[in-house]
Structures are given as C-alpha cells and as structure tokens.
Chain A
Amino acid sequence: MTGQPKFEESAEYAKARRQWEADYKQQLGDEEPRRNRSGIEIKPLYGPSDWDGGQYLRDLGFPGQSPTTRGIHATMHRGRPWSPRLVVGLDLPTDYNARMRQLYEIGLTGLYVAPCNSHMRGFDPDEVEPELLGTCGTVIASAEDMRICLAGLPIDEHSVSLGCSAPYTLSAFLFATAKSRGIPWRNLAGTTNQSDYLSHYTALHMFFRIALSGQRRLMLDHIEWMKQKAPRWNSLSIVGQHMQQAGATPAEAMGLTISSAIQYANDMLERGHEPDWFLPRFSYFFDISISFFEEIAKFRAGRRIWERIAGERFGAKDPRSRRFRFHAQTSGVDLTRQQPYNNIARVAVQAMAGIFGGLQSLHTDAFDEALGSPTATAARISVATQNILRDEAHLDDVIDPLGGSYYVETLTDQMEAEIESVIAKIDDCGGMYRAAETGVVQDMLGRSAGRWQDMVENGDQVVVGVNAHCTGDDPIDRPPAKEHLAASRVEQYLAEFSAYKRDRDQTAVGRALDTLARACNSENENTYEQIVNCALAGVTHGEICGRVRRELGVGEPLIVP
C-alpha cells in the first residue's frame, strides 16, 4: 500500500459526489424508498463510499479459495459449465423415458426423476384415485418402473438427481437398476434431491406420512450408507427452494437452509462422525426469483457464510467440506397464467441471476407451468434458454463477472447480515428441528407470503399481465395444454403392476420387509441398507413406506394459520 489517502476521501471526490446528489435531488425530488424482497433499501447509485474494496483476500478471495465468495472451484464455468438439469416427471415410466431421450438430444446433461404425488404421499399406485396418477410426475413404484424410466440413458456418465424423500426408495430403485445393468454403485454420481425432510415438513408437506423423528433417523442412516457404498453420491441436498416458493424472502430462504445444514451437521456429529467425513457430500438446492441482483447477492453471501460456518463452527479442515455446491431452479411463483409467453423472458432473467451467482446445476422452468404440467415444446424451450445463455451470450466466459461491482458487493454484505440474523433466530429456537416442530418456520413463511401478496394486491409490486399492462384474453396467448394420460393406459399400467407383485418371490419379499422392520427397531442397524435390499427383492414403494410408518410412526402436517 502506498499510504496515499483513498481516492474517495479526496476533496475532488467529495465535491463531485455532492454535485451529483444535488442534481439527482433537483430532478427527482423526494422519492419513496425502494426495497428488495428481503426488505433491504436499494439506493439509486453505489460507489466507493458504500464499498471501498474491503479486504480482498478476507472478503472475496480467488475462486476455489476461502471465503469462496467468487465461486467454489478455481475454474468455475470455464472448467465445467453448469449442468442443465430439468425436473422431469410425467405420465408413465415409458413416457418419462421418451421425454428424457428427446431432451438429451438437445443438450440436457443432468438427469432428474420426479415421481408423481401418489409416490410423494407414500402410496402405491393401486392405493390412490386413478385420476391422479402420473399427472404431476411419473408413476414410479418399483425397481422395475425405474429400470424402464432410465432404459438407454447414460446413468454411469451423467449424474442422476432424484426427487426422493425419506425413506428414499427412488435411490434404492436406482441402485437396483444399476445392479441389473452391471454398473458398480461406487461409480454412480447423483443426488437424493429431496432428502431434506425439514424443508418438506415446514414448507410444502410433501412427505410420506412418516413421523418427524422417524424421518430424522432415516436421513442420517441414508447419509451413512451412501458414504460407505456410493461415495460419489450426494446423499443430502438441503433445500431452500421449498421455503422460498412457500413465501420466504430470499434472505430468509438462505438463512433457513443454512440453519438446516447446521442441524444435520450437528446430528451427524452426535452420531460420532468427524465433520470432514460427511460435509463434503452436503449439497444445496435453491430457488431463483426474478429479483435479479438480490438473488446474485444471496448466492454469493450464502457461499461465504457456509464456508465460514463449516470452518469455524464445525472445524472442517478439508476444503471440500466448506464448498457450497448448489443446484437452483427458476421460480415458478414468479410465472403468470396471463400472457404466458412472457414467462420465457422471466425464466431467462432468473437463470442469468443463478449463473452469475455461481451455481453448479440449473433447472429452467417451462413457460407453461402456471397453466399445467409442461408440454414437450415448452420443456425444449427451457433447455434452449440455457444453451443460448451459455453458447450465444457467453455467460460462462468470466468467473463471478459482477464481483467488484459497488452495488453487488454492498448488497452481498447486506444480504449476509440479513441471512445471519435468520440463522441467529433459529439458533435461539434451539435449532431447525425444534423450530420446525414448534411451527416457528411455518409462521415465518406464512407472514412473508402474506406481505408479498399485499404488495401485489396494492400494486407496489408490478406483475406484468396481472396487475399492470393487462390485455384481454387473446387466442394467441393460449398455448395448447398438455394432453392427459389416457385412462386405458393407466388401467394397463395397474394390471402390469399387479402382475409384477404377483410374480415376485413372495418369500424374499416377506423376509426383506421383516428385516427392515427389525432394523427400524434396532439402533445399531442401518435402515437404508434394508431399504436397498427391499428394492432388490422386488418390494414396492408403498410396501416399504407402510412398514416404515408402522415401525417409526405416522406423521401429519403441522398446521399453522
């Protein structure tokens, strides 16, 4: 350092700044303060008096180096572009397979399997209203269904993300599929994308009717088993996306997610594990709203906070334990039914925020998601959007291209403070498990959802086509809806499912379920080992969930007004 006063402390600077302030005020007068979704006031201009460069190595550092503000890898998207990964789930296993093959041809590289809501409630398909089968995800109830879903898809080359909640039968079905294709489990890479049971319990009630304490046990067993049998697998994906979609502000969603990570890390420490044994496989999944700069700042701040917490609170030594790896999904809540083609523009802006925020994997919503399940055309456009941003706009050229921006750095610091206040609040409640059990989180989400709705209702937040720039119903604005799965095909599927159950080795099925029940009741056994064995023996999803509920207890949503 030269010892010279900083430029912004000079008389010249002060004079120029005063002049600008006077000009601004003269032209605009007294303005209403503007705030972002997290409540931070946004000024019209940022400069060196807001952010003076800080201490570069302490606050920003180089990519791949502490505090990882600029990215978790030295090479970021230059070394490996983000994985375009779409949540795909529709109709029957053969339909899923056909849709995935189409998307693969146009550049999708990440697989994602989203099961339908019969699966998400822990039922077999023959236990629910047939009208609901395959309407919002693919019907998957057995290892055989998974085998059909993934036939011919390169599960040994590309990572597979599964919409898979406790007790994680989808992962077990995938492992059975890998075995039948001769792929060693150690080679499988992927993510149990919905393993974060606290996010399900607090934000969207998409769990399998299993008691909260039971889900806690199942998840910890799952992490331990995966670490030993499939070390490349991300057994835990901690989900802020659910909370933000349920109403949390971006800062709240990030804070609650990190609080969940703290809870899970503490639970693993309590089981006697070293932090560096399990933290490298923690991964995250976030929402990206259209609040562009706020989202970029959210991701940069979250990455810095976790890097610090992993090191300081948990004493992690391995740099991989401190890496905040995340998948993100463009926000469906921001999409509109009115003038639906506008959603293509919204998704592109959201995706850019995620890319500049340094994500590892990206789902872009289909523009017709406010109308129903995505059509094939809309899904293709969402993949093309990513291809355009990467290959035409070259957003992968420069690492953390907004780093050093007076605004983005100031906002990153401010978001960091907001996020830390949420983490402190949850710490005060005794951690995230306790905060979920007592409804504190649900209450926070409901209040923020209400505040957002008020802003849309009174016009403080413009939503184009909804409360501003509205047009009448124009036929050109109505894309065709996705066709429903024919009832005859559902009947045929159910007949095949029934035959599958009839033709199994019934003794092996009974033995696998009894062994699972014993594991549930013995603290020294790993429940997940037995769930995988059940999948290999042909036990169905509903049968596994039913037995787990019987042994570990039934859970219902905790309702907060």
Chain B
Amino acid sequence: MTKIGLDGHDRGSRLVANFLRDAGMEVVSTGPWQKISDVVGLAETQAIDVIGISSLASDHRIVPKLMAALVARGLGHIAVVVGGIVPDNDLDLLHDAGVSQVFHPGTSREEIVGKMQQLAADAQMSELGTL
C-alpha cells in the first residue's frame, strides 16, 4: 500500500492498509511521496502480489509509468489497483495501462478485501505459472 508522486494525504492508505491487515493479509505499507523506482524495488524485495496505489490529487496519472517499470523488471505478474479520486476521463488511461481495479470513494471494506484477496491469489498462480 503506497502513494507515488507528490501528494501527501494518507488517510485513505492508512485505513485500507489497516483493514487488509485485520482481514489477515500481510501488508507492507509506506508513507507518501514515493518514487516509482522505490515502489518497484520494494515489490521485488518483499515478494509483493498486489500493489495498492492511493491517490487523491491526480498522482494516479503516473501509474502507467509504474506499470511499465514493473514489466521492465520482470514483475508483470503483480496486480496493481488504484484507490481514491480518479476522474471519469482518466479511467481508460488506467485500464489501458493494465490496472486491475479502480476503487472509487464509497467502496465498501468488504468489496476491497474480497477483490484484493482474489487478485493476490491470481498473482501467486500467475507467478507459479511463469516459473
């Protein structure tokens, strides 16, 4: 669970990280202001299945660059989800880049936990398939 780019508002990312932990998932969370290269490095060393990007103030617009950087490091099996304020006219940008899911404000905890568990299982299967 992380925030890339420039924004610092972390109410959402702290909440989601905590309730994924409560649901029994192993969560690595960072503070805001992360560089894409930092997130890729962390994904590699911590054997991450799903990356959650929290975005309030348009940092979602550099998520396609994160996706490209993951593929370049051979980490294409990792699912990426974005949560927060994503205007309708940016949804294609994210889906075309391969983002698995966009969680808009008001999404229930149950829905987020269920989807993250499913994506994590899929990512583990996909990684096994590539070995």
Contact = CB atoms under 8 A, between A and B. Distances in A.
A486 to B, nearest CB: 13
Given A132-B5, A132-B58, A446-B14, A205 B105 contact: no
A137 to B, nearest CB: 8
A371 B85 CA distance: 6
B33 A117 contact: no
A476 to B, nearest CB: 14
Given A135-B57, A372-B85, A481-B87, A121 B109 contact: no
A450 B15 contact: yes
Given A117-B57, A129-B62, A204 B9 contact: yes
Interface residues of B, number: 35
A439 B76 CA distance: 37
A337 B106 CA distance: 7
B62 A371 contact: no
Contacts of A338: 106
A135 B61 contact: yes
A89 to B, nearest CB: 10
B32 interface: yes
A373 B56 CA distance: 10
Contact of B108 (A205, A457, A478, A483): A457
A557 B6 CA distance: 12
B89 interface: yes
Given A136-B57, A561-B14, A206 B8 contact: yes
Given A136-B7, A205-B32, A484 B62 contact: no
Contacts of B109: 453, 457
Interface residues of A, number: 46
A120 B6 contact: yes
A338 B108 CA distance: 13
A309 interface: no
Nearest to B105: A337
A246 B87 CA distance: 21
Given A136-B57, A484-B89, A247 B11 contact: yes
A98 interface: no
A128 interface: yes
Given A247-B11, A336-B105, A132 B59 contact: yes
B106 A205 contact: no
A561 B29 contact: yes
Interface in B28-73: 29-33, 57-59, 61-62, 65
B10 A205 contact: yes
B17 to A, nearest CB: 7
A118 interface: yes
B104 interface: yes
B3 to A, nearest CB: 9
A203 to B, nearest CB: 9
B22 to A, nearest CB: 10
A200 B10 CA distance: 12
A131 B62 contact: yes
Contacts of B89: 481, 483-484
Nearest to A205: B8
Interface string A243-281: 001110000000000000000000000000000000000
Interface string B94-115: 0000000000111011100000
Interface string A87-131: 000000000000000000000000000000110110100001101
B32 to A, nearest CB: 5
Contacts of A483: 89
Given A337-B105, A561-B17, A561-B18, A128 B6 contact: yes
A482 interface: yes
A189 interface: no
Nearest to B57: A136
A463 interface: yes
B106 A129 contact: no
A466 B85 contact: no
B88 interface: yes
B28 to A, nearest CB: 12
Given A123-B6, A372-B90, 11 more contacts: A117-B7, A117-B57, A129-B5, A129-B65, A336-B106, A449-B14, A453-B15, A463-B106, A478-B88, A559-B31, A561-B14
Which 6 pairs from chain A and chain B are nearest by CB?
A205-B8, A372-B87, A135-B58, A117-B6, A136-B57, A466-B106
Interface of B: 5-11, 14-15, 17-19, 29-33, 57-59, 61-62, 65, 85-90, 104-106, 108-110
17 contacts: A121-B33, A123-B6, A131-B61, A132-B59, A136-B58, A205-B10, A205-B31, A205-B33, A206-B7, A246-B11, A338-B106, A370-B85, A371-B87, A457-B109, A478-B88, A483-B89, A561-B17
